[in-house]
Structure 1
Amino acid sequence: MAFSLGWKAPRGCWNLLQPVSSGFPLFSWRTAGSYLDPKVKAFVEDNTEVTSSGSLTPEIQLRLLTPKCKFWWERADLWPYSDPYWAIYWPGGQALSRYLLDNPDVVRGKSVLDFGSGCGATAIAAKMGGAAKVLANDIDPIAGMAVVLNCRLNGLNPFPILTKNILNMQQGKWDLIVLGDMFYDEDLAESLHRWLENCFWTYGTRVLIGDPGRPQFSGHRIQHQLHRLVEYILPEPTQQENNGLTTSTVWDFQP
């Protein structure tokens, strides 16, 4: 399976430690023309499957890479764009999305930033729960396109999308930040930890983290600042796609 061998490391295309512009361009569905470039849009639609099965959130439909897709089996280097980590519904994101759907009071009427949004499922769950303001953040522009397409699949007007490295920008004020599967690299984990502490102490932002227990997360010092909210048993397809990981947990960050 070329996909498993070539691509399946959580969002390994992220390079969040590099300096980026300090601008803050928020692209709504009306202005995100680049996200809906007809050629790229057609390619994404032709090479993903719309599915709501095999995850913790059957209420949410998503365009994903599945075994029915050519590039699940094709050589990864033949994919013509940046690695499609957005096309996998990672277990940390699944847990977060399930938690928000089950506990809409967590997001109702609040501003929510979905950091490392990928397919946008957790941002979609926040919107379904009644969030007043949602921003999906992922540095891959094609992830931005995927979020737009996935919003429409679920009957939602696409919310703003930021395809910049938010860690190096001026901090914004959010009621809640959600992030799943982002503690996969030690250097990134350190930068992200400092940024989350800043958000908490500057604005009182609540932070929820979803992770299936990867070593870079379970061995990080952030563990001393976490409160376990809920642990989910992952569906069998998700377990198989993630090297046998069996559970995923939502943590409340309390520095």
Structure 2
Amino acid sequence: MTPPTVWPPSRRPASSVWPCWWPSLSASPACRPPRRVVAASHRAAIAACPNPICSSRCCRWPILSLSPASADPAAFIRLHTAPAPVPLCPDIHLWQATEITPIWHATEDWLQRNGVPPPFWAFPWAGGQAVARLILDDPPLVAGKRVMDFAAGSGLIAIAAMKAGAASVTAVEIDPFAITATGLNADLNGVSITGLTQDIIGQPLSGIDILLAGDVCYERSFAEAALAWFRELARSGITVLVGDPGRAYLPSQGLEKVATFNVPTTLELEDRAVRVTDVWRVPAP
């Protein structure tokens, strides 16, 4: 079991190691990822680059170090995302991928070869936005309670819960990059969150009053396992709320609708500019 990590405000990891993106912009084989030079030779790399597109756009970013990106996920996140407000919760800012940041143009193959899981943590997904908005609008749902943000991604729900007065929040993820992103986002918003990197589906929970989750019904086997576990948690007395914008594997029965939100999103992520997103309570069987 991986011990939890607690992020206090103002913890700011520093690093001079930066990966280089923009693979789709580089026409020169020499410039294609994983091009590796140390950051100290940044200027020399630009001068040596024969590709004018790469020189003007790719190589102006600090360049991939001799160590893989997974060696310093905090530095990777800081370089390839930018702080931005969450559309439905503008008082919360997250390190996010946008059209102007390099991670948006990354290829899946390059991500895998450099030890980086798909960056689901780099976007405020609709289900998480809806849950966050609900608890910000109705703080008594979490105030004074011990909260778990399951499949936390960016940590948006966890941050909203702390801002709404939760006694404590644990953000749980299996992706170490997501846990690192949650820590950076907690720091960005001046809250303290406990992070846990572990697959906990099926395990009983102690010391938790309410479990919150967003966008967990996108894949059949995961959704079925998660919902079965949620029902067991509800039976044990834990409140379970799930935000979902109509993903394919959301159960059609057995859930209680709590709220509905029109969540602004982007066509690069979804098939529409606004997703109608519901928050559901999982009742005890």
TM-score using structure 1 length: 0.81
Where 1:165 maps in the other structure, the secondary structure is coil
Native 8 Å contact 2:174 2:197 kept in 1: yes
For 2:3, the equivalent position in structure 1 comes to: 25
For 1:76, the equivalent position in structure 2 comes to: 108
Matching of residue 201 in structure 1 with residue 235 in structure 2: yes
Question: Aligned pair in 2 of structure 1 residues 170, 230: CA closer, same or farther (>3 Å)?
Answer: closer
Matching of residue 248 in structure 1 with residue 277 in structure 2: yes
For 1:124, the equivalent position in structure 2 comes to: 159
Any residues of structure 2 matched to 1:167-178 within 5 Å, and which?
A: 167-178=201-212
Q: Which has the higher contact order (CA 8 A, sep 6+)?
A: 1
Matching of residue 105 in structure 1 with residue 140 in structure 2: yes
The amino acid of 2:167's aligned partner reads: A
For 1:190, the equivalent position in structure 2 comes to: 224
Where 2:89 maps in the other structure, the secondary structure is coil
- Over the aligned positions, Cα root-mean-square deviation in angstroms equals 2.1
Query: Which digits, 9 at most, give the CA deviation of each residue in 1:124-171, with x for residues without a partner?
Result: 0000000001100011111111111101111123x1111100115443
C-alpha distance in 1, partners of 2:117/2:14?
A: 15
Name the count of aligned residue pairs: 222
Native 8 Å contact 2:128 2:213 kept in 1: yes
The amino acid of 1:47's aligned partner reads: H
Gaps of 5+ in 2: 16-71
For 1:143, the equivalent position in structure 2 comes to: 178
Q: Greater shift after overlay, 103-112 or 74-83? A: 74-83
C-alpha distance in 2, partners of 1:250/1:243?
A: 20
% identical aligned pairs: 33
More helix by proportion, 1 or 2?
A: 1
Q: Radius of gyration: which is bigger?
A: 2
In the alignment, which of 49, 68, 72 is matched to residue 82 of structure 2? Answer: 49
Where 1:52 maps in the other structure, the secondary structure is strand
In the alignment, which of 194, 216, 239 is matched to residue 160 of structure 1? Answer: 194
Question: Aligned pair in 2 of structure 1 residues 83, 240: CA closer, same or farther (>3 Å)?
Answer: closer
For 2:52, the equivalent position in structure 1 comes to: none
Question: Aligned pair in 2 of structure 1 residues 29, 135: CA closer, same or farther (>3 Å)?
Answer: same
Query: Which digits, 9 at most, give the CA deviation of each residue in 1:212-232, with x for residues without a partner?
Result: 011211xx2xx4222212111
C-alpha distance in 2, partners of 1:112/1:27?
A: 16
Native 8 Å contact 1:114 1:136 kept in 2: yes
Native 8 Å contact 2:204 2:233 kept in 1: no
Where 1:155 maps in the other structure, the secondary structure is coil
C-alpha distance in 2, partners of 1:120/1:234?
A: 17
Native 8 Å contact 1:239 1:246 kept in 2: no
The amino acid of 2:97's aligned partner reads: L
Where 1:242 maps in the other structure, the secondary structure is coil
In the alignment, which of 253, 256, 259 is matched to residue 230 of structure 1? Answer: 259
In the alignment, which of 63, 67, 70 is matched to residue 95 of structure 2? Answer: 63
C-alpha distance in 2, partners of 1:162/1:168?
A: 16
Gaps of 5+ in 1: 1-22
